[in-house]
Amino acid sequence: MAIVIKGGYLLDAERPFAVGDVVIEGDEIVEVGESAERAGATILDARGKIVMPGLVNAHTHSNQAIEKGLCDRLPLDSWMILASYGGAGTRLEPRDLYISAMLGAIEMLSTGTTSVIDCMRTDIAWFDEGMDAVMQAYSDIGMRANVAAQFADLDFFSSIPLSLIEAPAALREERRRASVGDILTRAENYIDRWSLKNPRLTPMLGPSSVARCSRELYSETIRLVKHKKTRLQSHLLSAKSQVPVAEELFGGSTVRYLESLGALGPWASYAHGIWIADDEIPVLAESESVIVHNPVSNQKLGAGIAPVPALDRAHVNVALGSDGASSGDSQNMFEVMKSAALLHRIANPPEHWLGSADSLRMCWHGGSVAMGAQIGRLSPGYKADLTILKTGELMVGPKEQTMNALVYSEVGRSVETVIAGGQIVVDGGKVTTVDVGKILEEAQDLTARIWAGLPERLQAFEKLRPVLEDLERTVGRLPLAFNRLCG
Ligand SMILES: [Zn+2]
Domain boundaries, the chain: 51-416
- CA dist., res. 280 & res. 289, Å (int): 12
Q: Left, alpha or beta for 87 (phi > 0: left; psi -120 to 50: alpha)?
A: left
CA of 350 to the centre of ligand 1 (A): 30
CA of 29 to the centre of ligand 1 (A): 32
**What number of helices (H) and strands (E) belong to the chain?**
17, 17
Q: Spell out the alpha helix ranges (H) of 301-453.
A: 308-313, 333-343, 356-361, 367-371, 402-409, 436-452
Determine contact, residues 36/7, Cβ cutoff 8 Å: no
Identify which of 144, 284, 263, 269 has the alpha carbon closest to the alpha carbon of residue 213.
263
CA of 61 to the centre of ligand 1 (A): 6
CA of 310 to the centre of ligand 1 (A): 22
Q: List phi, psi (to 5°) of 418.
A: -130, 135
Identify which of 361, 420, 423 has the alpha carbon closest to the alpha carbon of residue 112.
420
Query: Could you say which DSSP state residue 159 is in?
Result: G
Distance of alpha carbon 324 from the chain centroid? 8
CA of 398 to the centre of ligand 1 (A): 38
Sheet holding 232-236, edge to edge: 55-60, 113-120, 144-151, 201-207, 232-236, 268-272, 290-293, 317-320
CA of 469 to the centre of ligand 1 (A): 22
CA of 233 to the centre of ligand 1 (A): 9
Specify the CATH architecture of the domain 51-416. Answer: Alpha-Beta Barrel (3.20)
Question: How many Cα atoms sit within 13 Å of 256 on the Cβ side?
Answer: 11
CA of 324 to the centre of ligand 1 (A): 6
With residue 235 as reference, give the H or E element that holds it.
Answer: strand 232-236
CA of 477 to the centre of ligand 1 (A): 25
CA of 148 to the centre of ligand 1 (A): 11
Q: What is the mean pLDDT of each run of 10 residues along the chain (487 residues)?
A: 95 91 98 91 95 98 88 79 59 94 98 97 93 98 98 84 78 76 97 97 97 95 98 95 89 95 98 95 98 96 93 97 91 98 94 96 98 98 97 74 93 96 98 98 93 82 84 82 50
Q: Left, alpha or beta for 252 (phi > 0: left; psi -120 to 50: alpha)?
A: left
CA of 81 to the centre of ligand 1 (A): 14
CA of 67 to the centre of ligand 1 (A): 14
CA of 384 to the centre of ligand 1 (A): 28
Identify which of 159, 180, 143, 153 has the alpha carbon closest to the alpha carbon of residue 62.
143
CA of 413 to the centre of ligand 1 (A): 26
CA of 438 to the centre of ligand 1 (A): 28
CA of 244 to the centre of ligand 1 (A): 20
CA of 271 to the centre of ligand 1 (A): 6
CA of 412 to the centre of ligand 1 (A): 23
3-state secondary structure of 312: helix
- CA dist., res. 450 & res. 452, Å (int): 5
Taken in order 397, 398, 404, 406, the sign of the CA dihedral is positive
Burial class (CB in 10 A: 0-12, 13-18, 19+), 355: middle
CA of 321 to the centre of ligand 1 (A): 9
- CA dist., res. 484 & res. 24, Å (int): 45
Predicted confidence at residue 87, as pLDDT, reads 39
CA of 235 to the centre of ligand 1 (A): 6
3-state secondary structure of 59: strand
Identify which of 142, 152, 157 has the alpha carbon closest to the alpha carbon of residue 432.
142
- Measured CA to CA in angstroms, residue 91 lies from 119, 130, 158, 204, 477 at distances of 16, 11, 21, 22, 36
CA of 100 to the centre of ligand 1 (A): 16
* Beta-carbon contacts of residue 261 (< 8 Å; ≥ 6 apart): 210, 215, 218, 219, 222
CA of 192 to the centre of ligand 1 (A): 24
CA of 351 to the centre of ligand 1 (A): 30
- CA dist., res. 94 & res. 209, Å (int): 24
CA of 80 to the centre of ligand 1 (A): 10
* Beta-carbon contacts of residue 343 (< 8 Å; ≥ 6 apart): 295, 298, 299, 305
* Beta-carbon contacts of residue 470 (< 8 Å; ≥ 6 apart): 165, 166, 167
3-state secondary structure of 337: helix
- CA dist., res. 362 & res. 375, Å (int): 12
* Beta-carbon contacts of residue 14 (< 8 Å; ≥ 6 apart): 377, 379
CA of 59 to the centre of ligand 1 (A): 7
* Beta-carbon contacts of residue 133 (< 8 Å; ≥ 6 apart): 94, 95, 97, 98, 101
Determine contact, residues 171/162, Cβ cutoff 8 Å: yes
CA of 470 to the centre of ligand 1 (A): 24
Residues within 5 Å of ion ligand 1 by Cβ?
271
* Beta-carbon contacts of residue 19 (< 8 Å; ≥ 6 apart): 7, 8, 9, 10, 34
CA of 307 to the centre of ligand 1 (A): 18
Strands 268-272 and 415-420: unpaired
- CA dist., res. 399 & res. 403, Å (int): 8
